[in-house]
């Protein structure tokens, strides 16, 4: 699974000199008793809500954009969809800037 993902990312032109420490997928969640995943990802505390959640870009890895309930804007299906839209907008902006 990981090798196939790495090949796709390389073909898309992204850096792949990343060391993977751990991969957690839905089968792991199921083994942990979360058959449908976890609704809140990060702990649902004030310090990890809304604007305090991690951002979805990391300046240390240009072109890497995170998406999902653990990033801005937060939990719940609507927010995860907004997170995906924000990530897509940022990827588009980076691609446009790279063409200039």
- Indicate if the alpha-carbon torsion angle 89, 37, 7, 15 is positive or negative: positive
The domain tally of the chain equals: 2
Residues 35-49: pLDDT tens digits? 655 655 666 677 777
Report CA dihedral (85, 87, 92, 96) to the nearest 10 degrees: 140
Residues 28 and 73 placed together within one structural domain of the fold: no
Residues 4 and 47 placed together within one structural domain of the fold: no
Residues 48 and 95 placed together within one structural domain of the fold: yes
Residues 34 and 62 placed together within one structural domain of the fold: no
Residues 40-83: pLDDT tens digits? 566 667 777 777 777 888 888 888 888 776 777 766 667 777 87
pTM of the model: 0.41
- For residue 17, the enclosing domain spans 1-38
First to last CA, the chain: 35
């Amino acid at each position: 699974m990981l090798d196939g993902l790495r090949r796709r990312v390389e073909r898309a032109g992204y850096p792949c000199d990343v060391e993977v420490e751990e991969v957690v997928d839905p089968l792991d969640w199921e083994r942990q008793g979360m058959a449908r995943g976890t609704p809140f990802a990060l702990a649902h505390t004030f310090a990890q809500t809304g604007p305090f959640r991690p951002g979805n870009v990391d300046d240390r890895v240009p072109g890497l954009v995170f998406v999902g309930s653990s990033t801005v804007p937060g939990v719940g299906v609507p927010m995860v969809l907004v997170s995906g839209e924000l990530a897509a907008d940022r990827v588009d902006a980076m691609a446009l800037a790279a063409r200039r």
